[in-house]
Amino acid sequence: MKLQSILAIYLLFWMLTLFAVLPFGVRTTREEGGEPVPGEAESAPANPMIGRKLLWTTGVSAILFAVFYANYVFGWVVMDDVPFWRTRGPYRPG
In the chain, what are the domain boundaries?
3-85
Residue 69: exposure state from Cβ atoms within 10 A (0-12, 13-18, ≥19):
middle
Q: Which of 4-8, 9-13, 86-90 has the lowest mean pLDDT?
A: 86-90
Give the angle 44-49-55 at the CA atoms, nearest 5°.
135
The C-alpha atoms of residue 2 and residue 72 are separated, in whole angstroms, by: 12
Q: Which of 5, 26, 15, 3 is nearest to 64 (CA)?
A: 15
Is-contact 8 52, C-beta < 8 A?
no
pTM, to two decimals: 0.77
Please name which of 8, 7, 9, 23 lies closest in space to residue 56, comparing C-alpha atoms. 23
pLDDT value at residue 90: 59
* Under 8 Å between Cβ of 12 and 26: no
State yes or no: pLDDT of 77 exceeds 80: yes
Per-residue confidence (pLDDT) for residue 86, from 0 to 100: 63
d(CA 15, CA 87): 30
